[in-house]
A and B are shown apart, each in its own frame.
Chain A
Amino acid sequence: MDILQLIVSGLANGCVYGLIALGFVLIYKATEAVNFAQGDFMMLGAFITLGFTNADHMGLPFWLSVILAIGIMGILGYLLDMIVLRRMFGQSQVAVVILTIALGFVIRFIAGLIWGHEPQSLESPLSGLELRFGGLVLGMDEVWVIIVTVALTALLYVFFARTKLGIGMQASSQNQLAAYYMGIPVKRIHSMIWALSGVVAAIAGILFASKGSIDPTAGLLGIKAFAAAVIGGFGSLPGALLGGIIVGLVEPFAARYMPAGYSQIFPYLILVVMLVVRPHGILSQIQTKKV
């Protein structure tokens, strides 16, 4: 029973990592940029919801705040691409990496300015509820994280496979120039992708904050999500989720069975080993350049 509980809490954590990783992968697939601020996006989404709904801030109803936060993060993502990242068109990947790192600094600073640096937790109707199966006690919040993640992934899958916009996004990720020639508005699609990843980050943030506390440095969690994305191969949405779950599951077991101090290095160890053994993850996208 003990092990089962470890698995569930690991799964729940893993789903949050997976969702952040999903955000990386969405943007990477479409624009080849990597958003190092994705973790900070998540933190921001959580804080916006928290600011709307918590009694000592605005005290709005929970679900309204969730919708508001998701909307705001979507718009923020869109504007960010339109105003900032579009200027980076054609510049090297590393420049974009540095830009998004700086963006993370700024987001962290703003979040600290508005909501303070003390850890706070989101007052959600889910927290505190428990689900009992015989001797097994599961936190309702953890179960919800898993359900929402699965639903969101399914939704994204349908979006990319079935809708015109989704297929346009795929096309522009395969070959920007060709997509441009085919009349696909590449720039607008990039902005939409950023909006979408903002939405995913907001959801991840809400889930994360409802099952624990959050403070402005929570964005550093994004590094674990990197491990997840790399394991998944940086090019595949299910891969990102799978990677997140692997990292999430490894953590509690390492904490349990390894001496103290060694457990937290495990996700990074997996990351480094993965990069060395299979540099481009499970699903590789890299080909040799033609000369």
Chain B
Amino acid sequence: MSLLELKNVTLRFGGLVAVNDVSFSVEEGEVFALVGPNGAGKSTILNMISRLYTPAEGDILFEGKSILGAEPHDVPVLGIARTFQNIELFEQASVLQNLLVGRHTHCCSNFLTDMLFTPFVRAQERVHREAVEHVIDFLDLQPYRQKLIAGLPYGVRKVVEMGRALAVKPKLLLLDEPASGLSVEETQDVAFWIEDIKKVMGVTVLMVEHDMHLVSSVSDRVMALADGSMLSIGTPQEVQTDPAVIEAYLGSDDGTESGEAA
């Protein structure tokens, strides 16, 4: 059984078909990448999985069960965490608080016990903090713990957002353009982290990314989309050499070596 499975999913915005009859499955323990030109429907697919959009047709299965009945806030409870294309952090809170919000699905207290700060809540806070410290160590965020997000540089915010998703302790991690806007070195870090997320943490990754270099270095399988439809699926090598893909967005001339393909 695949971890995540999309079956003939179609989504329309008014007359526009954003995603057209797309099917694929993500196996446990792999890094799966969605590539394609802007407007191909990659982010839309992530948004459907995190239930911000509801497909008009088709079904989305997670661990064999349909998640179309779930609300957006139920999705992380199932074990799916995500990041956003244009960073959606809690601006007026510290890095630590942002990461702790990621632990929300693991909180068992309610607002009454919280306001009385019962010993149980205190113990729970310690456990959350320890879990978050692991993420901080993993992503080298130690210098930023108490800093407000509003004052952090772009690159660090991207990492914090990834950390927040990891704090959820998901089975499936959705990354929406994890390397966009990052420098070459930062992108390299992201590549190492994604490797480690897969190997060390055992988390399956589904990512949307434009940087073909990053995609081909970390992903096990790639799916290329154009105009909401599937073009090609397979190993990075297979997809990059698929004539349909080259035709669609690398241009008709030989562009296999282009790093930025958007």
- Whether A associates with B in a native complex is yes
Taking beta carbons and an 8 Å cutoff, which residues of A are in contact with B?
288, 291
Q: Given the complex, which residues of A lie within 8 Å of B52, measured CB to CB? A: 288, 291
The 3 closest A-B pairs by CB, nearest first: A291-B84, A291-B88, A291-B47
Per DSSP, chain B at the interface is loop
Q: Given the complex, which residues of B lie within 8 Å of A288, measured CB to CB? A: 52
Chain B 156-196 near chain A by CB (<8 Å), digits 1 or 0: 00000000000000000000100000000000000000000
Tell whether B85 is near chain A: CB-to-CB under 8 Å.
Answer: yes
Q: Given the complex, which residues of A lie within 8 Å of B88, measured CB to CB? A: 291
Q: Given the complex, which residues of B lie within 8 Å of A291, measured CB to CB? A: 43, 47, 52, 84-86, 88, 176
Chain B 121-135 near chain A by CB (<8 Å), digits 1 or 0: 000000000000000
Chain B 82-98 near chain A by CB (<8 Å), digits 1 or 0: 00111010000000000
For the complex, what is the distance from the CA of A164 to the CA of B195, rounded to whole Å?
Answer: 57
Chain B 103-133 near chain A by CB (<8 Å), digits 1 or 0: 0000000000000000000000000000000
For the complex, what is the distance from the CA of A291 to the CA of B84, rounded to whole Å?
Answer: 6
Shortest Cβ distance from B45 into chain A, in angstroms? 13
For the complex, what is the distance from the CA of A288 to the CA of B44, rounded to whole Å?
Answer: 13
Chain B 42-77 near chain A by CB (<8 Å), digits 1 or 0: 010001000010000000000000000000000000
Q: Which of B124-154 contact A (CB under 8 A)?
A: none
Shortest Cβ distance from A91 into chain B, in angstroms? 13
9 contacts across the A-B interface (CB closer than 8 A):
A288-B52, A291-B43, A291-B47, A291-B52, A291-B84, A291-B85, A291-B86, A291-B88, A291-B176
For the complex, what is the distance from the CA of A291 to the CA of B85, rounded to whole Å?
Answer: 7
Residue ID in chain A nearest B47 by CB atoms: A291
Apart from A291-B84, A291-B85, list 6 A-B contacts with CB within 8 A.
A288-B52, A291-B47, A291-B52, A291-B86, A291-B88, A291-B176
Q: Given the complex, which residues of A lie within 8 Å of B86, measured CB to CB? A: 291
Q: Given the complex, which residues of A lie within 8 Å of B47, measured CB to CB? A: 291
Shortest Cβ distance from B2 into chain A, in angstroms? 25
Q: Given the complex, which residues of A lie within 8 Å of B43, measured CB to CB? A: 291
Shortest Cβ distance from B90 into chain A, in angstroms? 15
Q: Given the complex, which residues of A lie within 8 Å of B176, measured CB to CB? A: 291
Residue ID in chain A nearest B52 by CB atoms: A291
For the complex, what is the distance from the CA of A291 to the CA of B47, rounded to whole Å?
Answer: 8
Shortest Cβ distance from B73 into chain A, in angstroms? 15
For the complex, what is the distance from the CA of A291 to the CA of B42, rounded to whole Å?
Answer: 12
Residue ID in chain A nearest B44 by CB atoms: A290
Shortest Cβ distance from B15 into chain A, in angstroms? 16
Shortest Cβ distance from A163 into chain B, in angstroms? 32
For the complex, what is the distance from the CA of A104 to the CA of B47, rounded to whole Å?
Answer: 44
Residue ID in chain A nearest B50 by CB atoms: A291
